[in-house]
Amino acid sequence: MEVFGSAQKPTRRQAIYAGKKEETEDIFTVNFFLDPPYFEDITLQDFETYALERLKVLRIFENAAFKTTRGSPEYHDLILKELPKEMRYRYVRPLNGTAEDVILENRRLDVLSHFILRMVFSRNEEQKRWFIQQEVDLFRYRLSGETAGSVGAFFRVSNFNYTPLPDEEFRNIRPILEKSTFFKHGQISVDTEFYKLDFLEALAMVKKRHVFLSMGYAYVPRRLLVEVVADRFRDYLGLEIARLSKIILESQEDTRLLPVMAKLAVGYTGKDYSGGELDFGITPENLDQLSTESFPLCARNMHEHMRKDHHLKHEARLQFGLFLKGIGLSCDDAVRLFRQEFSKHGISEKQFNQGYKYNVEHQYGRVGRRVNYAPPSCTKIITTKPPNGPLEHHGCPFKHFTGSLLEQRLKTYGLPPKDMDAIKELAQKGHFQGACTKYFEFTHRKKLTTVVDQIQHPNQYFEESRRLIDPDSVKDRPPIFSRRRPVLNAIKTEPGNSQAFSQAPPDMSDMDTDFHMTDAEMEEAMRAHEMEVDPSPGDNVAV
Amino acid sequence: MSLKAPFNPDELPHHLSVYYRRFFPYSLFHRWLNYGHSDTGHFFALREFCFTLKDDVYLRYKSFETQKELEKGIQEYCPHKIDIGPVYSARIKDVKLNPLIVPVERELIFDIDMTDYDEVRLCCSSANICSKCWPLMTLAIKVIHRVLTEDFGFQNILWVYSGRRGIHCWIADKKARNLKSPARHAIIEYLTLIKAGLQGKERRAVLSNFDLEYQAVSKSLHLVRNHFLKNLVRDQGLMESEKGLAKVLAMLEDQELIAKVRAAIEPISGSERRWDKLTDMVGDYVASKKRNQDSWKTSNMLDELQVMFCYPRLDINVSHGLNHLLKSPFSVHPKTGRVCVPINPDQADQFDPFAVPTIDQLLEEMSDYDKAHPPLSATGTGDEPTTVPTKPPIPDWKKTSLKEGITIFETFVRKLEINWKREKAKENIKTEPVDTDF
Ligand code: SF4
Ligand SMILES: [Zn+2]
Ligand SMILES: [Zn+2]
């Protein structure tokens, strides 16, 4: 953990209280994370647990920002509703009268988990951006929840030179401030605490003429100061993460962490859709209809290419195969489907049985290491392995298609120009899942009754679509595979296996002509899509 | 100002060579752009100059170590136009720009061009200006100068006539020179009331009720309304000229309202009385829409109309980044022969672009002066008339109408110098206690 530099272990008092005053009103939760944590020896298991919990919190913020407007009452309500109580006390605001050591412990976990995720998400640009956005939202949310007292304390500790305008100065210019400070419609309360900042610190508000400006100073009410500080946090975090990713790139140590971090970074904390939980009545025969009705764009794209070209390259076979498994296509049906299509491409029965068949069965955990692989989440699809050239059809169309290809495709699927523009705009701005969610909304408009959650997983897309279009066809099925367990348990319970985690994720860039892969190669290739090793005999049950 | 020496383009190369030897204020110029750095600091050398030669041949990325070198360079090339670029991170030389060398510092600059007002001008179009439209520039100076000084607190501002149809503004405070692009962007936005239309739509002014109350906007609007009434309605008879009336009415947008107003106004004579009538009618119209969902679209339409007619229009591309070139003060406009002289913003009303001396005129004024004041001895006509140590002769620019412009420039440079001294003194105080720590 040397990447953050070392920190002194803080004393209890320093850790809790900001300044000299030791009153409860001065206890603040918001944190600028200026100092790296004091890392005691933490186990890999803790490492993952902390990370997953914070990830869950960040997901809630992401979802809230997606469904509502940041800062609106609905936004606040949604976050409060979604955050489980303990997390709320830990990440937003402790209950009044919370014991000192609880506060101390909460803060420790807050700092630790933040720095763990910083490390986890500093490995590619897309992930960095995602992480920074959610952390800034969390930061802003917490800061705006602080009281006048605790905010002052927070500023003092973080060395921010913000002091409210002295009363007399405030009284003198109050009439101007009232006229020249912007209120959103519906905000009635008049600000009473103003801070005088160099205009360079308040550019976003200067630009919109939302604050009074005089002699190079912007007069910013506390409500808007939150934005200023949040912007500073964004800049600071961006710089720190850029620095960090350089260090991580250069340092070779702690390779045991790499696979765990890679997994966390694309971590999808919802369901894993490894297959079989629900029965949608899928058969190879109704696939075409389901594809038009309910496949997300990524799956539909691969499906249509399979029908048209009678072939799919390796990455697409993996992504599409796992997707099909996730929606409940049986292993035998899958083999049948691919055999039928690929034979039209000139692949002989023998060739198929020697290579492709094995791949499919491997995905279902029937052969080889007998692992039940989970289909990849959107984040994973979006942030790893972009399709290489026009023959590769895996990936996410919102991310990997050119603007014109996306437009053409949406047009073919019958979207009116207005909807198309909305989707294209989101995709252009880098909100790929947002674009996908909009697409879902537009194509299910007639059935929709509530706002949809952001699409996080192609199989989630499918499930929600089926529930809307044909709710009766969705039936529960007794679970065949056990649910997800943290990967680190596997290390503990299967010591012989830990070898696997001490290697960097395999490079699979040159693995297309693969139907003669050895067992070991196959497992390498699959590891990226791994969920868990399930030692129970259940994984052998035929679907 | 006499017009006895009209500008003669054919003479330009020859006249320029005299101008660059005897008039161009090198010393002040260097004092300005060196910004108080020591001569050994090579700061001046990091600045890009661009020379435009005959037939639009551009020499970009010129740089000069010293004032002497600059003098030599200018006199040697005798450029038809001199542009000033940014300060780079390292010295650039003639060659194509090395990608590792980047702009690091640049005055905040504004470029206001009369051509941007073409859609609302009644008198001229494109590069032409006259005494009727020039007050638009005067208004721009007043509005922007107030914002820069009162709101942003800038102190070192140089306004310059561009030589033909516009004005330039150089903000040279240290803070302004070090602004990053987003900050420049924010300042422009703060100043902007007329937004470029979305996708092919025309530009529009949109004012909310909050805008109207917002101090900076309300101060600008005060100037705008005065200008509109005095300059357009009264002096130019806006409401009585068919062209003007059409433009005004078109901005009301609602066809029914336009027809009604037109019918009510046409029988009235007198531009101002027509304007009063229109104001009343639009007032009623706005009141009738007050309850509507989209009342914001109409509620400030009268002010929006006036803003469209005269609020400053900036060429934002110039101000955005650090590396845009801008014509140097005291360059000569190659098409008009007029010198790009500074304008005193406090007396912007008095500035008359047609009184700005042309290069031909300067030469004539000088020889007139010399004839009237025959030299006692034969000094001061050599290469460096301003630096002869014994018995300094009166510099040539003082003999001409360039004097006024140079005085404004000198005041600007002096003020900068006072600020440097103050800053240095402050820095010394600040650093002292730190020094004793070690
Ligand atoms: S956002 Fe997810 S579900 Fe939608 S197309 Fe992309 S990868 Fe598929
Ligand atoms: Zn210009
Ligand atoms: Zn004119």
For residue A412, the distance in angstroms to the closest alpha carbon of chain B comes to: 25
Tell me the two tokens of residue B52.
């435009």
Judgement on whether residues B169 and B209 belong to the same structural domain of the protein: no
Is there a contact between A406 and A428 (Cβ–Cβ < 8 Å)? no
User: Of A17 and B335, which is predicted with more confidence?
Assistant: B335
Please give the pLDDT value at position B427: 82
Closest CA to A312 of A334, A283, A282, A281: A334
CATH of the domain at B344: 3.90.920.10
pLDDT tens digits, B100-132: 888 999 999 999 999 999 999 999 988 899 999
Chain B neighbors of A235, CB-CB under 8 A: none
Confidence of residue B267 (pLDDT cuts 50, 70, 90): very high
pLDDT tens digits, A99-151: 788 888 888 889 889 998 988 888 777 778 889 999 999 999 999 888 878 88
Tell me the two tokens of residue A154.
């927070």
Confidence of residue A490 (pLDDT cuts 50, 70, 90): very low
Residue B25 within a domain: yes
Judgement on whether residues B120 and B49 belong to the same structural domain of the protein: yes
Lowest mean pLDDT among A184-198, A249-263, A392-406, B165-179: A249-263
- The distance of Cα A140 from the centroid of its chain, to the nearest Å, equals 19
- Ligand 1 atom 3: residue of nearest CA: A458
Ligand 1 neighbour A396 (Cβ under 6 A): yes
Q: How many A from CA of B122 to the centre of ligand 3?
A: 7
Q: How many A from CA of B131 to the centre of ligand 3?
A: 6
Judgement on whether residues B252 and B128 belong to the same structural domain of the protein: no
Tell me the two tokens of residue A190.
């008049």
Binding residues of A: 298, 378, 396, 436
| B153, B183, B217: residue with CB nearest A203 | B183
Q: Any residues with CB less than 8 A from the CB of A220 and at least 6 apart, and which?
A: A194, A195, A196, A197, A202, A205, A211, A228
Ligand 1 neighbour A312 (Cβ under 6 A): no
Rounded to a whole number of angstroms, the CA Rg of chain B reads: 25
Residue B411 within a domain: no
Please give the pLDDT value at position B298: 87
How far apart are alpha carbons B172 and B107 in whole angstroms? 5
| B152, B189, B213: residue with CB nearest A213 | B152
Ligand 1 neighbour A297 (Cβ under 6 A): yes
- End-of-domain residue from the set B256, B280, B310: B310
Residue A3 reports pLDDT greater than 80? no
- Dmax (CA) of chain B: 86
Judgement on whether residues B149 and B262 belong to the same structural domain of the protein: no
- Ligand 1 atom 2: residue of nearest CA: A378
Residue pairs between chains A and B whose CB atoms are closer than 8 Å = 49
Tell me the two tokens of residue B85.
């670029």
Phi, psi dihedral angles at B223 (to 5 degrees): -65, -40
- Ligand 1 atom 4: residue of nearest CA: A436
Between the two ends of chain B, the Cα-to-Cα distance in Å is 64
Judgement on whether residues B230 and B148 belong to the same structural domain of the protein: no
Lowest mean pLDDT among A16-25, A267-276, A482-491: A482-491
Inter-axis angle of helices A314-326 and A458-469, nearest 10: 40
- End-of-domain residue from the set B275, B310, B345: B310
Sign of the alpha-carbon torsion through B256, B258, B262, B264: positive
Tell me the two tokens of residue B174.
């240290």
Is there a contact between B377 and B391 (Cβ–Cβ < 8 Å)? no
| B151, B179, B183: residue with CB nearest A213 | B151
Closest CA to A254 of A527, A530, A504: A504
Chain B neighbors of A418, CB-CB under 8 A: none
Q: Domain residues for B239?
A: 197-310
Residue A56 reports pLDDT greater than 80? yes
Residue B208 reports pLDDT greater than 60? yes
- End-of-domain residue from the set B310, B330, B362: B310
Ligand 1 neighbour A376 (Cβ under 6 A): no
| B152, B175, B214: residue with CB nearest A179 | B214
Q: Dihedral, CA atoms, B407, B410, B415, B418, nearest 10 degrees?
A: -130
Residue A507 has, within 13 A of its CA and on its CB side, a CA count of 2
Residue to substitute from B148, B156, B215, B316, interface A, most A β-carbons within 10 A: B215
Residue B431 within a domain: no
Question: Which ligand is the nearest neighbour of the Cα of B231?
Answer: 3
State how many domains chain B has.
Answer: 2
SS3 A213: strand
Q: Which atom of ligand 1 is found nearest the CA of A398? A: 6
Domain ranges of chain A: 44-156+233-250, 159-226, 286-473
Tell me the two tokens of residue A319.
């992504």
| Mean pLDDT, rounded, of chain B | 89
What residues of B are labeled active site? 48, 111, 113
Lowest mean pLDDT among A63-67, A269-273, B135-139: A269-273
Residue A256 has, within 13 A of its CA and on its CB side, a CA count of 13
Residue B57 within a domain: yes
Residue B426 within a domain: no
Sign of the alpha-carbon torsion through A115, A121, A123, A124: negative
Residue B414 within a domain: no
Residue A206 reports pLDDT greater than 90? yes
Kind plus residue range of the DSSP H or E element containing A195: strand A194-198
How far apart are alpha carbons A272 and A376 in whole angstroms? 8
- Ligand 1 atom 6: residue of nearest CA: A396
Fold for A44-156+233-250, please state it.
Transcription Elongation Factor S-II; Chain A (1.20.930)
CA distances from A519 to A172, A259, A494, A524, B371 (A): 80, 21, 20, 9, 104
- State which amino acid sits at residue B305: L
Ligand 1 neighbour A136 (Cβ under 6 A): no
Judgement on whether residues B85 and B133 belong to the same structural domain of the protein: yes
Residue B393 reports pLDDT greater than 80? no
Please give the pLDDT value at position B134: 96
| Mean pLDDT, rounded, of chain A | 78
Judgement on whether residues B255 and B356 belong to the same structural domain of the protein: no
Q: Which atom of ligand 1 is found nearest the CA of A456? A: 2
Ligand 1 neighbour A406 (Cβ under 6 A): no
Question: Which ligand is the nearest neighbour of the Cα of A379?
Answer: 1
Q: How many A from CA of B162 to the centre of ligand 2?
A: 6
For residue B183, the distance in angstroms to the closest alpha carbon of chain A comes to: 6
User: Of A518 and B329, which is predicted with more confidence?
Assistant: B329
Residue to substitute from A201, A203, A220, interface B, most B β-carbons within 10 A: A203
Residue contact A217–B153, C-beta within 8 A? yes
Question: Which ligand is the nearest neighbour of the Cα of B109?
Answer: 2
Please give the pLDDT value at position B428: 80
Angle at B234 between CA B228 and CA B239, to 5 degrees: 80
pLDDT tens digits, B36-62: 998 777 899 999 999 999 888 999 889
Chain A neighbors of B419, CB-CB under 8 A: none
How far apart are alpha carbons A116 and B227 in whole angstroms? 62
Judgement on whether residues B36 and B81 belong to the same structural domain of the protein: yes
Confidence of residue A284 (pLDDT cuts 50, 70, 90): confident
Ligand 1 neighbour A458 (Cβ under 6 A): yes
Residue to substitute from A181, A184, A200, A209, interface B, most B β-carbons within 10 A: A209
Residue B7 within a domain: yes
How far apart are alpha carbons B191 and B171 in whole angstroms? 15
Ligand 1 neighbour A461 (Cβ under 6 A): yes
Q: Which atom of ligand 1 is found nearest the CA of A395? A: 7
Judgement on whether residues B291 and B327 belong to the same structural domain of the protein: no
pTM: 0.69
pLDDT tens digits, A379-431: 889 988 889 888 899 999 999 999 889 999 999 999 999 999 999 999 998 88
A215 touches chain B (CB under 8 A): yes
Q: Which atom of ligand 1 is found nearest the CA of A439? A: 4
